[in-house]
Structure 1
Amino acid sequence: MPRFAANLSLMYTEHTFPERFAAAAADGFHGVEYLFPYACSAAELAIQLREHRLEQVLFNLPPGDWDAGERGLACLPGRHVDFRDSVELALDYAAALGCRRLHVMAGVVPAGSSRSVCRQVYVTNLRHACMRAATHGVTLLIEPINPRDMPGYFLNRQDEAHAIVAEVGADNLQVQMDLYHAQIVEGDLATALRRYLAGIGHIQIAGVPERHEPDRGEINYPYLFELLDTLGYRGWVGCEYRPQNGTRSGLGWLHTWRAAHPE
């Protein structure tokens, strides 16, 4: 049975951020993820995890200047010092929170930069980050993101991501497959899961096209959940969706699945 983690950046936004941990635990989640923890102290977050018996499943490295449109630093020419600093900050938080997976956002290709140069920078930065993460027992993840939601983002396709993982050649680098993004860009999700599952370290879900609950839209998630069980996936499934009318009222899909698949 898939292990579902609540994404506290998108879910439970009817609560303050610290209150979201308790809300997720009350609804039966055992793991949480979110985009960025850096607005809170690691100690504060660790208290929430401990009090509510939650596992910190995943978070992202610092993205750079988000308000200015930066969406990661890893592929940006001339930013290697900033990127290396972001790696160290994320690893400090990961150690404090007991988190063993970090998402490295590639970034938006800067105007005037070629993709080939950005790829070289990306691979070099990932090799450095993997070396540092290995000393902490942390696995790094790269995620293809659809260009509709994030125009200009460097990494969009599953085959591209797995090719980069192979080129980097680090044992602690895997792909984060968000089925929402993958459906928008490529479709054929079941075939992609069968083809790439060995290299996938984390999966995320949302309905397509509105990014609401996974029981709304064009993806047949119950079929894919069954497939993940059949394929032997043992990782987490992050619920990175925007609830349409409140988080708790939209969890019928989860209750239905759990009732049919008791642990």
Structure 2
Amino acid sequence: MLWPDRPIDWRAARLTERGLGVGLWNWPDHDLDRLEAVRADYTIMNGYLEGRLADDEGAAMLLASARETAQVGKRLGVRRLNLHGTGLGEGGIPIRQCEVVTGEMWLKARDTLHRICDLAEEEGVVFTLENLNLMDHPGCPFGSTADVLALVSSVDRPGLRINLDLYHTQIGEGDLLRWCERCLPWIGEIQVADNPGRFEPGTGEINYPGVAQALARMGYRGPVGMEAFAQGDSDAAVDAFVAAFTL
């Protein structure tokens, strides 16, 4: 999302020079040899390429894809492998949209996530489940902050954490600080972007310096990642992110 005209290894090196970690999306899009050569701190990447939580066929696809991705994650030293309620296609639109989530689907999703945790224990990795707003990702099951919290807290195993994306929470629910408090015991990472536009902190309606101070008061000491486009210059966007979360 930053320096889109530059190759991925240049971007990873640029963030590493600044003492920051690097988040990746789908690994087949990249030259793994070049990424490995940078020796960056790869903090998070998509933990699957296909699949779904709530049906047998989708769960089998998800687990096979997650196992393959875990090997890539370990090669690059990725800290967290990210999941969603269902696979996403072009523009983040769910490949198979779902308008009604049944009780049977909830039970199947929880079972699938327990199997993901078994895989995490076998491979020595950690998965996260990310919340997504329904305006940008219509028909995505288990996308709300409440749904992600319900699933992760009910599984309650160390191999599965919440990737709490506050951009999506702002659009879907608002009330960011209280959602941070509720999710706190299970948060593996917090991601941020301002709204509207999904640009860097300071470009929209969210008081991210205030969020940073509140997180510190709560005792949160985990990672914060900027999953945002640069409104203008990418270096300036990174500066704004660092400033917002430097106390």
Common topology (TM > 0.5): yes
Q: Which runs of at least 4 in structure 1 moved beyond 4 Å after TM superposition?
A: 111-114
Distance 1:41 1:73 in 2: 26
Report whether the alignment pairs 1:93 with 2:72.
Answer: yes
Report whether the alignment pairs 1:75 with 2:54.
Answer: yes
**What is the match of residue 177 of structure 2?**
190
Deviation of 1:23 after TM superposition, in Å, equals: 2.0
Report whether the alignment pairs 1:216 with 2:203.
Answer: yes
Q: Which has the higher contact order (CA 8 A, sep 6+)?
A: 1
**Aligned with 1:38 (options 20, 24, 28):** 28
Distance 1:144 1:95 in 2: 24
Report whether the alignment pairs 1:63 with 2:85.
Answer: no
Deviation of 1:251 after TM superposition, in Å, equals: 3.4
Report whether the alignment pairs 1:16 with 2:16.
Answer: no
Deviation of 1:249 after TM superposition, in Å, equals: 3.0
Paired residue secondary structure (2:28): coil
Check 1:132–1:249 CA distance in 2 against 1; reply closer, same or farther (3 A cut): same
Report whether the alignment pairs 1:157 with 2:144.
Answer: yes
Residue segments in structure 2 that go unaligned for 5+ positions in a row = 87-93
CA displacement 1:86-134 (0-9 Å, x = unmatched): 0111110111111231111211484688522433332222111110111
Deviation of 1:154 after TM superposition, in Å, equals: 0.8
Normalising by structure 2, what TM-score? Answer: 0.87
CA displacement 1:215-260 (0-9 Å, x = unmatched): 11110000011111222212111110011113113334245457x6
Kept in 1: contact 2:99–2:141 (CA 8 A): no
Tell me which amino acid in the other structure corresponds to 1:201.
G
Kept in 2: contact 1:57–1:99 (CA 8 A): yes
Paired residue secondary structure (1:92): helix
Kept in 1: contact 2:194–2:203 (CA 8 A): yes
Check 1:109–1:168 CA distance in 2 against 1; reply closer, same or farther (3 A cut): farther
Tell me which amino acid in the other structure corresponds to 2:74.
A
Kept in 2: contact 1:104–1:142 (CA 8 A): yes
What pairs with 1:243-258 in structure 2 (closer than 5 Å)?
243-254=230-241, 256-257=243-244
Distance 1:112 1:103 in 2: 20
Check 1:94–1:180 CA distance in 2 against 1; reply closer, same or farther (3 A cut): same
Deviation of 1:188 after TM superposition, in Å, equals: 0.7
Give the RMSD, CA atoms, in angstroms: 2.2
Distance 1:215 1:204 in 2: 15
Kept in 1: contact 2:98–2:139 (CA 8 A): no
Deviation of 1:14 after TM superposition, in Å, equals: 2.7
Residue segments in structure 1 that go unaligned for 5+ positions in a row = 1-9, 65-71
**Aligned with 1:133 (options 89, 104, 120):** 120
**Aligned with 1:115 (options 97, 101, 105):** 101
Kept in 2: contact 1:63–1:73 (CA 8 A): no
Kept in 2: contact 1:109–1:154 (CA 8 A): no
Distance 2:190 2:26 in 1: 18
**What is the match of residue 67 of structure 1?**
none
**What is the match of residue 240 of structure 1?**
227
CA displacement 1:25-60 (0-9 Å, x = unmatched): 33x142111221223354432212x2xxx2111111
CA displacement 1:61-107 (0-9 Å, x = unmatched): 2332xxxxxxx533354233322210111110111111231111211
Kept in 2: contact 1:208–1:216 (CA 8 A): yes
Tell me which amino acid in the other structure corresponds to 1:57.
T
Kept in 1: contact 2:84–2:130 (CA 8 A): yes
Deviation of 1:153 after TM superposition, in Å, equals: 0.7
Check 1:39–1:227 CA distance in 2 against 1; reply closer, same or farther (3 A cut): same
Distance 1:167 1:101 in 2: 20
Report whether the alignment pairs 1:201 with 2:188.
Answer: yes
Distance 1:225 1:14 in 2: 31
